[in-house]
Chain A
């Protein structure tokens, strides 16, 4: 048993001794970690925001997007290097903070960071801007005149959750549109964004003052109002209750981008249910369930399985149970906090009680096991499970029938992992898209969205900018005032 100490936050221009510090404690697998987090006063937040805004105006905004990409790429390269001290700190501390298996964190970090290399970032920009140079200077517009995209002077990020690395997503988006960035880390995972900010400042000292990472206890309205009052844009991640609370603190003239909790699921068609494919599909499905213990918005909570294949839906549930047991062997589930354990126990008992009244329902996995599969012989409306490697497998006659079962969850839908033949893929995608899903991917890839994906169906970068247009008429009129005019 050893106690490790770490410091979160990245606060350019502020001296350590000027700040009040609080300690967040984490304990997992016999290690204890104490993370010191800075509790800035509302006035300090305002001053910090001012500094970041001015610095980004002076430096970031004069850089070309390609230069910014090069800087991020250098930082990501360092994080991908197993010998780099930043990488080593992340690998050592994130498992203690999140409780996830260290090897799962290591593999997850690499897989995730790879999507932020230069070519991927260029693709990311190109997804949203037909002409990425629009972010650097006025460019001719097809309709006539010229247009240029300006990022916010100050973008505030409210991060949530304990899936390692997620804050990087919005922070890098902010950098790519040349915004000054102030991000608030969550108490559940205060470290990764802080590390990244420090690393970025080390890689490119010019950017040192263009971003900051702060902390306060969620729901602190005085601090929220102080910082939001300085922002052009607030992007927030969290449950709908927290988002509603945050929205109330955002001035009406400040843009607010909420990213709520989502509900994702998988669909397995009979084409994937012959003896050979069923095993590999179940293995991929188990991977999607096991990775990050279903904490991600893209993690499946239900698998709908089509009848009529060589392997029945019930058999598929057993395959999945088998694969989850194997996954547990390789990557043990984190030790659940009491609240999560109570949630899983309650969910398990509820599923068990259902088996009394519904013939054809079963619950797989012993009470002490770190995973559970609840199987039901009939389609049911999409509903969350207890996460933490609990999953429902529901039999359907035809995959098309799933659409009716998800209709009620339109506002929450995100990823659908789909195993079906090409024709079915396109037909189902049409119906699923109409029902509210925004991402259709292969089973096994649910937790790893590809570079340049549109998070919750939105434009990651385009949503952040303000377009400034010089109309054709202005160009023409200017000619009238030209010194060379005859």
Chain B
């Protein structure tokens, strides 16, 4: 388990009883809709009281602790608000850690997600990761295709991966992406070694790093047959950092190159603005069904009205994450999704109006502004 701080030592402005209740809630095996709503409403009331910007936002929509009756009524805040507003109940200087977005979409403005303590984030991550990625395995040797936490102290993904190594990695685990870039040669040696010894191996990192890796190995004609129990975790998509290829091709290549069945290639869907992640059960068939633990619930909405669309229709994903105890529980993403039995399908990003008319659209404008 993660290192959970004594709630008594948490900074001022933070309801320690709330954090405690949250940790107890997360430790439950499951929760009913009612139980989930009750805790969501407690968090909503807390955030409404301690975050004035959020309070005004809610009031403008006529949503107050008096009128909000269930988790579905909590107004969803767009993720861009993490750039424009300070969405924190605890004053930022008193927060243990701030995670920032990579700033790829709006010039240099980066979204900030303040965590007074990482206790909740860490508990959420480890409990969920243990079930969805480790699947009963206690520890596994890990290779990380992402910079470490020292290099990227404000990256939630760097922290996530560091936590994975710390809690679930064997001593032989290591990083293969440093200031010099991707060390595919050294990784190749390690993989050859585990292939010989039969030690299961887990390779985790950003989706685009896997593309770089596959490109380099393809050039050298290198491939592996990793031992049974080996697995892969990719996250985040290509983000313009690598060539883009259809996901079908990505997993086919990845599986062929590592000798890992596609059912053991797991994709994690997470965001800086959340404290909880979603996983699929492998990518043998696409698109795979994503789902999260019982302390996060999702809705598929019509972005203009905020109303849920009919089951099976495309909409924008809104997530209510109880792990977001200090910021806002409910966010409106820019991701298109559709609800299915057991979770949702992620259908990509809502790319806006470009390519329809000849009027300059925001996305093009921002790209030009960056160039």
Are B359 and A294 interface neighbours, CB within 8 A?
yes
Are A412 and B304 interface neighbours, CB within 8 A?
no
Interface residues of B in 7-26 (CB under 8 A from A): none
The interface residues of chain A lying within 8 Å CB-to-CB of B364 are 239-241, 261
Interface string of A344-366 (1 = CB under 8 A from B): 11110110111011000000000
Interface string of B19-60 (1 = CB under 8 A from A): 000000000000000000000000000000000010011001
Of the candidates A259, A339, A341, the one whose C-beta lies within 8 Å of that of B358 is: A259
Most B CB contacts (10 A, CB to CB) among A239, A347, A350 go to A239
Are A338 and B367 interface neighbours, CB within 8 A?
no
Say if the beta carbon of A237 comes within 8 Å of chain B: yes
The interface residues of chain B lying within 8 Å CB-to-CB of A240 are 364, 367-368
Interface residues of B in 302-334 (CB under 8 A from A): 302-306, 314-316, 332, 334
Of the candidates A218, A242, A353, the one whose C-beta lies within 8 Å of that of B81 is: A353
Are B303 and A346 interface neighbours, CB within 8 A?
yes
Say if the beta carbon of B196 comes within 8 Å of chain A: no
Say if the beta carbon of A117 comes within 8 Å of chain B: no
Are B314 and A188 interface neighbours, CB within 8 A?
no
The complex places the Cα of A367 from the Cα of B368 at a distance, in Å, of 30
The complex places the Cα of A262 from the Cα of B357 at a distance, in Å, of 10
The interface residues of chain A lying within 8 Å CB-to-CB of B61 are 367
Q: How far is the CB of B359 from chain A (nearest CB, A)?
A: 5
The complex places the Cα of A299 from the Cα of B302 at a distance, in Å, of 26
- In this complex, how many residues of chain A approach chain B with their Cβ under 8 Å: the count is 55
Are B53 and A349 interface neighbours, CB within 8 A?
no
Are B314 and A386 interface neighbours, CB within 8 A?
no
Q: How far is the CB of A293 from chain B (nearest CB, A)?
A: 8
Say if the beta carbon of B353 comes within 8 Å of chain A: yes
- Given A345-B332, A356-B85, A412-B368, verify A384-B361 contact (CB < 8 Å): yes
Are A353 and B357 interface neighbours, CB within 8 A?
no
The interface residues of chain A lying within 8 Å CB-to-CB of B356 are 161-162, 188, 295, 340
Say if the beta carbon of B360 comes within 8 Å of chain A: yes
Q: How far is the CB of A211 from chain B (nearest CB, A)?
A: 22
Most A CB contacts (10 A, CB to CB) among B80, B85, B302, B303 go to B303
Total contacts A-B at CB 8 Å: 155
Interface string of B335-360 (1 = CB under 8 A from A): 01000000000000011111111111
- Given A239-B364, A262-B360, A299-B359, verify A342-B352 contact (CB < 8 Å): yes
Of the candidates A160, A344, A347, A353, the one whose C-beta lies within 8 Å of that of B84 is: A353
Q: How large is the interface on B (under 10, 10 to 19, 20 to 34, 35 or more residues)?
A: 35 or more
Of the candidates B60, B303, B354, B359, the one whose C-beta lies within 8 Å of that of A296 is: B359
Interface residues of B in 269-326 (CB under 8 A from A): 302-306, 314-316
Say if the beta carbon of B185 comes within 8 Å of chain A: no
Are A349 and B358 interface neighbours, CB within 8 A?
no
The complex places the Cα of A296 from the Cα of B353 at a distance, in Å, of 12
Say if the beta carbon of B78 comes within 8 Å of chain A: yes
Say if the beta carbon of A368 comes within 8 Å of chain B: yes
The interface residues of chain B lying within 8 Å CB-to-CB of A352 are 57, 60
Q: Which residue of B lies closest to A411 (CB)?
A: B368
- Given A340-B353, A368-B305, verify A346-B80 contact (CB < 8 Å): yes
The complex places the Cα of A412 from the Cα of B352 at a distance, in Å, of 19
Of the candidates B78, B355, B365, the one whose C-beta lies within 8 Å of that of A345 is: B78
Q: How far is the CB of A297 from chain B (nearest CB, A)?
A: 4
Are A292 and B361 interface neighbours, CB within 8 A?
no
Are B81 and A349 interface neighbours, CB within 8 A?
yes
Binding site for A on B (CB under 8 A): 53, 56-57, 60-61, 77-78, 80-81, 84-85, 302-306, 314-316, 332, 334, 336, 350-362, 364-365, 367-369
List 19 additional A-B contacts (Cβ < 8 Å) besides A295-B359, A353-B81, A383-B365: A186-B355, A240-B364, A263-B359, A294-B357, A297-B358, A339-B352, A344-B303, A344-B304, A345-B303, A352-B60, A356-B53, A357-B85, A367-B305, A384-B362, A384-B365, A385-B362, A386-B353, A387-B357, A411-B368
Q: List 26 A-B contacts (CB under 8 A).
A: A160-B358, A186-B355, A237-B358, A239-B354, A239-B361, A241-B364, A242-B355, A259-B358, A261-B364, A263-B359, A263-B365, A292-B357, A294-B359, A297-B360, A338-B350, A339-B352, A341-B303, A341-B316, A345-B303, A349-B78, A356-B53, A356-B85, A357-B84, A367-B61, A367-B306, A383-B362
